[in-house]
Structure formats: C-alpha cells, structure tokens
Amino acid sequence: MKSEKGYWDIVIKPRENNFSLNIGEIWKYRDLIKRYIHRDIVTAYKQTVLGPLWYIIQPLFTTITYMFLFGGIANIPTDGLPQPLFYMSGILLWNYFAECLGRAQGTFLSNAGVFSKVYFPRMVVPISGAISTMLKLAIQIATFIVMYLYYIYIKDVSIAPNIYILLVPLLILMIACFAIGTGIIISSMTTKYRDVGILIGFLVSLWMFITPIVYPLSVMSERYSEYKWIIALNPLSPIVETFRFATMGTGEFSWASLSYSFGVTVVVMIAGMGVFNKVERNFIDVV
C-alpha cells in the first residue's frame, strides 16, 4: 500500500536471517495479537455454564486426583509440604507449559487457511497463544495463593516465601519461550510428517513424569539416585523446583541448574526460529 506521498507503508521481502525474530515487524502487528488474544479468551469456554470457573475446577480436580493416587496409594512424600500446595504448584506450571506447547505446535496446520490468504508475521500466532494462556495461569496462581494463605493462617503451617520469589516472572517467561521454541519446531516438522504430531502427543504425556510435578526432586536423590540424571537433563525440572523453593522454601535450588535451564531455553528458541522461518516460506505448497 502506498501512502499519499508515494512511499510504501509496508514492504514484504524475504528474511535475510533465518534466526531473526523480527521484533519490529511483530510490534507493528500488535493489534492483531490483541485480536487473537481476545478470540482465545472469548471462545475458550463459549456456551459453557461455568465459563472461566473451569480454570479453577480443572487444577483442583487434578490436585485431588494426585493426592489420592500419588500421595495416598503410592505414598510419595512431598518434602513436608501439604499435599494440595505441593501438587497445585506443579500442576499450574505444567498446565501452562503444555497449553503453550499445544498452541505453538499447531501454528502451521491449524492456520493454513488464514496463512494462504493474507500476510502477517506467523510468530503472531504462538506469541498470542502464550499470552492468552497467561490469563488462565494468573487465575490458577490466584487459586494457589488462596490455598497458600489458608495453610499459613488457618492451618498454621510453617511455610514462607523468600527473596527468590522475585524470579517467578522469569520462570514463567522461560516456560513460555521454551514451549514456543519446542512447539514451532514440532509445527515445522508436522507440515511434512503428520506422524510427528501423534508421536509428540504421546511423548508430552510421558514428559510430565520426568518433571518433578508429582514428586519432589529429593525423592530421586534418596531412592532412585541412578535415574536422577534423567530428571536433571529436563530443563523444566529446575524451573519447577525453583518455583517451590521460592514460594514455600523447599526444593532443590541452584543457580547452576537454573542457568542450564535458561541456556537450553535460549538454544531451543533460536533453533525454533531458524526452522520456523525456513519452513514458512513454502509450507503452503506442502500442506
């Protein structure tokens, strides 16, 4: 489109660098991001009776299930924390990761019809998905805080946050970036190989069990030390443990582990951008 002065307002040209996120271009389409976010929030529980209350009901029911299965039947310890707090703290982080990953991995196939008709930065889709999912995360964190205050002031449980709670926004950002990076790599692969999407759905369900969601990392140190290295390689493990340590004072926290997680997140995000930018040039011809 030309302006009145005869200059082009928008110029679309091939990327010079596959690993470029092109923040400036995405910022120009910030109104579109807002539209996507609004759509996701409005349609999430459209024509449901309880609506956003499902954001609270789902993790609560999951917490109760984990308390029965892992806390009751399996008798897995929770580092001295009340079971509802322990499980809820892991569930809200895992749910955010899983949902961001699911939205990002469907970027190409789910939006092929839109992508084939109009141009806009394709990264708008996974970014808006991660932001809209933050509303759900915020509601679940609020639920966690209510539960947290109940155990402190009503049950008189000795737990307290510490200075590391300032890391929580960084932890959430790391989860979002890692999920987006992993998701767009999967999305790029599924344009040619649809089997990848089926395989990933199976692997993600297993992934949760190598993340300290239903057990503390200390259990691996005490009972299954020979397998702890597998959990340690999972970049989500330090994030979950740091969150518990920051909010409740228990868990295995170290700057080395968190730095490892941060480094993996950066590498995955950069690699994801490279693959994503390369595939978006001709994926319409494939799908």
State mean pLDDT over 245-270: 92
Per-residue confidence at 220, pLDDT binned at 50, 70, 90?
Answer: confident
Whether pLDDT at 245 is above 90 = yes
Per-residue confidence at 85, pLDDT binned at 50, 70, 90?
Answer: very high
Spatial distance between the Cα atoms of 267 and 69, rounded to a whole number of angstroms? 36
State mean pLDDT over 187-201: 77
Residue 115 · residue 122 · CB < 8 Å: yes
- What are 40-44's contacts with CB under 8 Å, separation 24+? 40/128, 40/129, 40/132, 40/133, 41/132, 41/135, 44/136
Say what the pLDDT of residue 282 is.
66
State mean pLDDT over 212-233: 81
Say which residue, 111 or 149, is predicted with more confidence: 149
Residue 283 · residue 28 · CB < 8 Å: no
Whether pLDDT at 4 is above 60 = no
The owner of tokens 């691996």 is: 220
Per-residue confidence at 283, pLDDT binned at 50, 70, 90?
Answer: low
Model pTM?
Answer: 0.87
Lowest mean pLDDT among 2-11, 102-111, 173-182, 243-252: 2-11
Say what the pLDDT of residue 6 is.
56
Say which residue, 19 or 99, is predicted with more confidence: 99
What single letter denotes the amino acid at residue 56? I
Say what the pLDDT of residue 39 is.
83
Whether pLDDT at 225 is above 60 = yes
Per-residue confidence at 222, pLDDT binned at 50, 70, 90?
Answer: low
- On average, the pLDDT of the chain sits at 83
Per-residue confidence at 180, pLDDT binned at 50, 70, 90?
Answer: very high
The string of pLDDT tens digits covering residues 142-166 is: 999 999 999 998 888 888 889 999 9
State mean pLDDT over 217-221: 79
Say which residue, 250 or 263, is predicted with more confidence: 263
For the chain, what percent of residues have pLDDT higher than 70? 85
The string of pLDDT tens digits covering residues 8-64 is: 666 555 555 555 666 777 888 888 888 888 888 777 777 666 777 888 888 899 999
Per-residue confidence at 89, pLDDT binned at 50, 70, 90?
Answer: very high
Say which residue, 9 or 111, is predicted with more confidence: 111
State mean pLDDT over 3-7: 55
Say which residue, 103 or 283, is predicted with more confidence: 103
